[in-house]
Amino acid sequence: MGDWKSEVKNIVYEGQIKVPYKWNVGETGSRFFIGLRDKQEIWGVQCPQCKKVYVPPLKTCGTCFVNTDQWVKVANTGTVESFTVVNYSHGMQPAKPPLVYGLIKLDGAGGSFVHLIGGIDPAKVAMGMKVKAVFADKREGTILDIKHFAPV
């Protein structure tokens, strides 16, 4: 068959695609978002085998592959494990730049998740900083019901 790759020319298309879509978050995701929307509470699920608490919740433990059906309320406080400052504007961003995305490990959770950090000069954000969830005034059942995390 020969070296077919030598005859192939790479084609690169540059551009930006905005693809709005909707999906069903299912029973587990719905319960998580309803807690945010209606009670301003953050809930996760605990694996019955390894005891890791997943936030946002997962239907199945990523380590043990068993169903996770024990709901656990976690604190709305946590620690910034890592972060990045975004200084450019893009149509898919939830806020105008500069904005800070942080990897937040909530107190009581076994892992971390990415969310906005606000209420602070981006130059002053630091790893290890304690933060607390600030909930949006108008909540609609999405992850942005947590407006951002602010320094404690």
31: in domain: yes
What predicted TM-score, i.e. pTM, was given to this entire model? 0.83
102: in domain: yes
The total number of structural domains that make up the chain: 1
Residue of 48, 50, 46, 25 whose CA lies nearest to 36: 25
pLDDT at 2: 67
What is the residue-averaged pLDDT of the chain? 91
52: in domain: yes
pLDDT at 90: 83
Share of the chain above pLDDT 70, in %: 98
Asked whether 39 and 145 are in contact (CB, 8 A), the reply is no
7: in domain: no
Q: Which are the contacts of 37, defined by CB distance < 8 A and separation ≥ 6?
A: 139, 140, 141, 145
Summarize pLDDT for 44-66 with one digit per residue, the tens. 999 999 999 999 999 999 999 99
Summarize pLDDT for 84-113 with one digit per residue, the tens. 999 998 877 888 899 999 999 999 999 899
DSSP structural state of residue 29: H
Owning domain of residue 72: 24-151
Distance CA 26, CA 137 (A): 25
50: in domain: yes
Beta strand spans in 9-143 (E): 42-46, 53-54, 70-74, 77-86, 99-106, 113-117, 130-135
pLDDT at 1: 55
12: in domain: no
Residue type, 117: I
Distance CA 73, CA 64 (A): 21
Q: How confident is the model at residue 12 (pLDDT cuts 50, 70, 90)?
A: confident
